Amino acid sequence: MTKNGGRGGTERLVVIGGDAAGMSAASQARRLKGPGELEIVAFERGHFTSFSACGIPYWVGGDVSERDDLIARTPEEHRARDIDVRLRTEVTGIDVAGQRVRARDLDSGAESWTSYDKLVIATGARPVRPDLPGADAPGVHGVQTLDDGQGLLDTLARARGRRAVVVGAGYIGVEMAEALINRGFEVTVVNRGKEPMSTLDPDMGRLVHLAMEGLGITMVNDAEVTKVLTAADGTVRAVATPDAEYPADVVVLGIGVRPETTLARAAGLPLGSRGGLLTDLAMRVRGHENIWAGGDCVEVLNLVSGQTQHVPLGTHANKQGQVIGTNAGGGYATFPGVVGTAVSKVCDLEIARTGLREKDARRVGLQYETAVIESTSRARYFPGTSSMTVKMLAERRTGRLLGVQIVGREGAAKRVDVAAVALTARMTVEEMTALDLGYAPPFSPVWDPVLVAARKATAKLRAS
């Protein structure tokens, strides 16, 4: 039953947003349905498709030498697979009742309507730009898009001095601190929270704080930036808090992102409390049979808390795009939700978390015990072994695992995956003590650090 499409019997799938979720959906739908059955049109307001935003800090820092290394698939590659990618074309309205979208050619300014049988909304996220005097000054940069990354690299190349201030101490903030150190800058991170990495509990954030100082980064916590100060030529010269000024030749904003759902809101589609689109398990926008949404513009179910949250991560966007493309292509797939896994690094410091923090558990009414242990990445006697701290939360009485946070060096980050699977399987920490994890002296102590934490959590639950 097609009401659109160029040829008889051909349906049209319209995709809004040409990044991970949108183009994964388009590609997967194309795998299932050839161009004779399904026409696919993808609108992208920028110059690129399918790029790795998560890779930008490493491009800025020099680990990745070319911008194009971050592009997983070019518009030409998509077009070669019969996906009609329209770059520099911004969708400006969705007419749900009429099953059509209005799009503007950003170069010519021309607007036109395109009808759809099936619609995918993958509009991503927009960076939080604080409403600060001076925040638009030259030398102040976000790091959301490839254009942002290029702009920052240009600033770094011509900066007057070598002082950098990073505003925000989440994933982007700490990764940009590393990038700027690698570029030879003196880095100050100004952070509103009590400790960096507010996705960790403060006791674990404290370990990140100390390690960052050990790397020569100046950490300013409990500090709200109120102003960006500029030089006579209008470029940035400092960042100000109520208490101090931090001189800066370049400023990077890493304050976080919000779902980009302006279009969805205007179209009357359902949004959650974090401003993201609400979908069902098949990634259909709730209440709409032929509209799907995925990536940074949606809220996802956290399987541990039972509530939706906004988790802008490329790995979810790719999975959701895959699910959407399968369903839009006539197959069947679901995205059951997330457990809140995230990993990052600052130089050789690895940071990982999954599940709930203490405050998350309290907020959703879960009572818990915590265990914090220190162990090593390899057998204690093996060269290159390094210490790691593992924090584990378990529910009182049931003993169910609620969350894990790890701060350490080599081998710390990906150890959190064990906990991610255990959370998905709703294991208890006592069940975890018996997990048959890989052991050999170069890879782990005979009790893996995650198991040591599970043992301690089990003992605390028994004593409570």
Q: Which of 420, 452, 453, 461 binds its own copies (CB under 8 A)?
A: 420
Q: Does the protein bind its own copies through residue 48 (CB under 8 A)? A: no
Q: Does the protein bind its own copies through residue 321 (CB under 8 A)? A: no
Q: Which of 112, 273, 307, 315 binds its own copies (CB under 8 A)?
A: 315
Q: Does the protein bind its own copies through residue 440 (CB under 8 A)? A: yes
Identity (one letter) of the amino acid at 185? F
Q: Does the protein bind its own copies through residue 168 (CB under 8 A)? A: no
Q: Which of 76, 157, 381, 463 binds its own copies (CB under 8 A)?
A: 381
Q: Does the protein bind its own copies through residue 441 (CB under 8 A)? A: yes
Q: Does the protein bind its own copies through residue 232 (CB under 8 A)? A: no
Counting Cβ atoms within 10 Å, is residue 213 exposed (0-12), middle (13-18) or buried (19+)? exposed
Q: Does the protein bind its own copies through residue 112 (CB under 8 A)? A: no
* Pairing mode, strands 300-301 and 308-309: antiparallel
Which of 210, 446 has the CB closer to its own copies? 446
Q: Does the protein bind its own copies through residue 418 (CB under 8 A)? A: yes
- Give the whole-angstrom CA distance, residue 297 versus residue 29: 20
Q: Does the protein bind its own copies through residue 298 (CB under 8 A)? A: no
* Residue among 32, 54, 364, 437 flagged as catalytic: 54
Counting Cβ atoms within 10 Å, is residue 462 exposed (0-12), middle (13-18) or buried (19+)? exposed
Within 13 A of 160's CA, how many CA atoms are on the CB side? 13
Q: Which of 54, 153, 229, 364 binds its own copies (CB under 8 A)?
A: 54
* 1 Cβ neighbours under 8 A, 6+ residues apart: none
Q: Does the protein bind its own copies through residue 106 (CB under 8 A)? A: no
- Give the whole-angstrom CA distance, residue 125 versus residue 447: 41
Minimum gap (Å) between residue 116 Cβ and its own copies: 27
Q: Does the protein bind its own copies through residue 292 (CB under 8 A)? A: no
- Asked if 297 is an active-site residue, the reply is no
Q: Does the protein bind its own copies through residue 365 (CB under 8 A)? A: no
Which of 165, 347 has the CB closer to its own copies? 347
Q: Does the protein bind its own copies through residue 388 (CB under 8 A)? A: no
Q: Does the protein bind its own copies through residue 414 (CB under 8 A)? A: yes
Q: Does the protein bind its own copies through residue 280 (CB under 8 A)? A: no
Minimum gap (Å) between residue 27 Cβ and its own copies: 13
Q: Does the protein bind its own copies through residue 283 (CB under 8 A)? A: no
Q: Does the protein bind its own copies through residue 411 (CB under 8 A)? A: yes
Q: Does the protein bind its own copies through residue 58 (CB under 8 A)? A: yes
Which of 52, 221 has the CB closer to its own copies? 52
Minimum gap (Å) between residue 379 Cβ and its own copies: 6
Q: Going residue by residue from 324 to 363, which x/- string records binding to its own copies, judged by CB under 8 A? A: ----------xxx-xxxxxxxx----x-x-x---------
Minimum gap (Å) between residue 175 Cβ and its own copies: 8
Q: Which of 318, 370, 375, 389 binds its own copies (CB under 8 A)?
A: 318
- Quick check: 21 and 128 in contact, CB under 8 A? no
Q: Does the protein bind its own copies through residue 32 (CB under 8 A)? A: no
Segment 69 to 88, residues that bind its own copies, using CB under 8 A: 69-70
Which of 54, 96 has the CB closer to its own copies? 54
- Give the whole-angstrom CA distance, residue 181 versus residue 215: 9
Q: Does the protein bind its own copies through residue 313 (CB under 8 A)? A: yes
- Give the whole-angstrom CA distance, residue 5 versus residue 232: 57
Q: Does the protein bind its own copies through residue 422 (CB under 8 A)? A: yes
Backbone phi, psi, residue 133, to 5°: -60, 130
Q: Does the protein bind its own copies through residue 170 (CB under 8 A)? A: no
Minimum gap (Å) between residue 21 Cβ and its own copies: 11
Which of 80, 440 has the CB closer to its own copies? 440
Q: Is 330 left (phi over 0), alpha (psi -120 to 50) or beta?
A: left
Active site residues: 54
Using CB under 8 A as the criterion, which residues of the chain lie in contact with its own copies when the complex forms?
20, 52, 54-55, 58, 63-64, 69-70, 171, 313-316, 318-319, 334-336, 338-345, 350, 352, 354, 379, 381-383, 411, 413-418, 420-422, 424-425, 427, 431, 433-444, 446-448
